[in-house]
Chains A and B, each alone.
Chain A
Amino acid sequence: MLEGAELYFNVDHGYLEGLVRGCKASLLTQQDYINLVQCETLEDLKIHLQTTDYGNFLANQTNPLTVSKIDTEMRKRLCGEFEYFRNHSLEPLSTFLTYMTCSYMIDNVILLMNGALQKKSVKEILGKCHPLGRFTEMEAVNIAETPSDLFNAILVETPLAPFFQDCMSENALDELNIELLRNKLYKSYLETFYKFCKNHGDVTAEVMCPILEFEADRRAFIITLNSFGTELSKEDRETLYPTFGKLYPEGLRLLAQAEDFDQMKSIVDHYVVYKPLFEAVGGSGGKTLEDVFYEREVQMNVLAFNRQFHYGVFYAYVKLKEQEMRNIVWIAECISQRHRTKINSYIPIL
């Protein structure tokens, strides 16, 4: 890639970068969140959201309004914005945006496979799939009995095909193997996406590589924490860690042997970036590790907008929008459950 993205970037991507910056400016402000947490019912929440960029997105929803309906409509709205970016994009931005959709495709494939295991109807599950991860072959996923079947019969022509190299096996797809498949696919996807950004170079690599490295490390931590007390062996656990990031390779090797949260914390003492995050867990606010990681992710994605002429703004916008959706869903849940003590546990963005 030629140096000096600022000379050529706007020719192909300037319009879309301007558009995504406009979308980012319409994210909810602190004042909007103050108004939302004061709502007594979901109908109040709907009325307050009408005064924001969300507008009348819930106008067609029948009563009673539920948290699930709010989440579904927000997802559709985000998907509409993303599809507009993708439809108007040129290479290599189009490939970058396709990489972004792969994570949702993996989630949809796993949702369909788990649904098949629980003998749910395909139609019911398709309605719950993430719209950003839709692909034509989705409906046939439930007929596969092994990962090899899944690849050979269904996913070989999809963007997920390159991520299957470490996942091929003849093992029947039970809960454990589906979980292993999910994490191995995601690992392979992250590594490939990272390589794409690194090879692209320029400001995109400077912005995206640290973000993806953090994502890889986060996955390693969360997989480790959630595997305590489960049937996942330490050897299997280690195979799920993405092979890049600040923890790779020594930190991952130590993490694979950890048996509790305190051991994880002692490993992290050697990593200046992660030590304060682990120290923030618990405390008076009762923050979990997921909460502190989400906060860090928001910080990194907001900072991405401080640089111009790179693709990272599209990734950062979608991630910030997802955090905003999580915030709204959390506030809606607290309102609907009349459990207001933790209603302010959202992560402000702007």
Chain B
Amino acid sequence: MGTPLERSSRVPIGCPDKLGGATRKKVAPDSNGWLSLAKARYAMGAKSVGPLQYASHMEPQVCLHTSEAQEGLQKFKVVRAGVHTPEEVGPGEAALRRRKGPAKTPEPQSSEAPQDPLNWFGILVPHSLRQAQASFRDGLQLAADIASLQNRIDWGRNQLRELQEKLKQLEPGAA
């Protein structure tokens, strides 16, 4: 494992740069998304793209999936609703194979893809509305990456603090 000093030098300090980069990257899709919504209102009418068109019952198109990465850190990933990640496929298969008698395990609820929210605004929506949706989707993925990076940075800071404490405790002994 090495001495506290050696271990403290291995704590990742490059993450803040990555976090800054990811945060800056997220601002662009979000602001482009809002501007594209404004363009859609320009084309369709100011009252045609707004909360009045939202569905009374909304289903999420994406879910946040957490997994444990190295060192026990939580990692976040955005997954489309209705799509199983590779880790979920195995246990689910046994339940799906049951055909006789009443099902003892409930069917997975997200087996059907939710309705595309673009349809709330009509079938023939302008390109700017589709662009807005694509921008916000990109922003979501970046948000998950930022959360993962932030987690890693917080873990790194805690590790560094602990190691610095241990170093302080050892130093008087060495002296």
Interface residues of A in 87-140 (CB under 8 A from B): 107, 111, 114-115, 118-120, 124-125, 128, 130
List chain B residues, Cβ under 8 A from A290: 42-43, 126
Taken together as a complex, chains A and B put the C-alpha atoms of A36 and B104 apart, in Å, by 66
Q: In the bound complex, what is the Cα–Cα distance between A107 and B44 (angstroms)?
A: 11
Enumerate chain A residues within 8 angstroms of B38, measured Cβ to Cβ.
330, 333-334, 337
The interface on chain A, measured as residues whose beta carbon lies within 8 A of the other chain's beta carbons, has a size of 38
Q: Are B34 and A71 in contact (CB under 8 A)?
A: no
Interface pick from B52-60, B64-72, B81-89: B52-60
Interface centre among A71, A118, A130 (most CB of B within 10 A): A118
- A227 near B124: Cβ-Cβ < 8 Å: yes
Residue of B42, B54, B55 ringed by the most chain A CB atoms within 10 A: B42
Contacts of B46 in A (CB 8 A): 67-68, 71, 329
A176-B50 Cα distance, complex, nearest whole Å: 20
**Which stretch of B11-19, B115-123, B154-162, B166-174 is in the interface?**
B115-123
> In the complex, what distance in Å separates the CA atom of A119 from the CA atom of B170?
68
Residue in contact with B122 in the complex, picked from A120, A124, A179, CB distance below 8 Å:
A179
Instruction: Indicate which residue in A222, A288, A326, A337 contacts B34 across the interface (CB closer than 8 Å).
Output: A337
- Asked if B128 is an interface residue, CB under 8 A from chain A, the answer is yes
Binary interface encoding of chain B residues 19-48 relative to chain A, with 1 for a CB under 8 A from any of its CBs, else 0: 000000000000100110011011101111
CB atoms of A176 and B55 under 8 A apart: no
Which chain B residues lie closer than 8 Å to A350 at the CB level? none
Quick check: B42 and A329 within 8 Å, CB to CB? yes
Q: Does B63 contact A (CB under 8 A)?
A: no
- B95-145 interface (Cβ within 8 A of A): 119-120, 122-128
Residue A223 lies at the interface, judged by CB distance under 8 Å to chain B:
yes
**Can you give 23 A-B contacts (C-beta < 8 A)?**
A68-B46, A68-B50, A71-B47, A107-B45, A111-B52, A115-B52, A118-B56, A128-B52, A175-B122, A222-B124, A226-B124, A226-B127, A288-B43, A288-B127, A290-B126, A330-B38, A333-B35, A333-B41, A334-B35, A334-B38, A337-B31, A337-B35, A339-B34
Q: A111-B47, A120-B56, A128-B52 are in contact. List 15 more A-B contacts (CB 8 A).
A: A71-B47, A107-B45, A118-B53, A118-B56, A119-B56, A175-B119, A179-B122, A223-B124, A226-B126, A227-B124, A231-B123, A232-B123, A288-B127, A290-B43, A333-B38
